Amino acid sequence: EETYYMQELNDELIEFYQREKATSIVDFYCGLCNYAINIKEVGFQVEAYDNNPYVSELTKGFVKTLDLTTKQRLPKQYDWVQSFDIADRITKDKIVEYIENIARHAEKGAIISWKNQKSEEISKNKLNQKIIELFLLSNLIIDNTTSK
């Protein structure tokens, strides 16, 4: 499934990281990493990971292959972790590790998004609630102002 790039989101991320005085950002499950590449180009330290075994070749080595649905311990924490439109594609038995990896590597915070599936409204709400519960259990705070 394709991840879509939005210029407005890209610009807002850069402005946000500048306001937060961020220095290091990591992008989990970034695909071809358009956001991460553009953020790096304006001067931030950025690393990027995806589970695609060919992603390093496709991005000329910028993105490293890593399965973030298994416990990972990267050599450092980052000011911010970003991960877009992936949580809904991770199987229920692996979502806990994905969120724990985000929590383990985020020093200041995380910006994530996931698509609501067009299936039954009940299962959609259960998935959203479960992800929120997992974030809270991982000592991450949900920003209700910006969460939609």
**Residues with Cβ within 8 Å of residue 10, at least 6 apart in sequence:** 34, 35, 38, 39
Model-level pTM greater than 0.95? no
- Do residues 57 and 31 touch, judged by C-beta distance below 8 A? no
| Residue of 124 and 15 predicted with greater confidence | 15
- pLDDT recorded at residue 137: 62
Span 113-134, average pLDDT: 56
Whether residue 44 is predicted with pLDDT greater than 60 in this model: the reply is yes
- Do residues 68 and 76 touch, judged by C-beta distance below 8 A? no
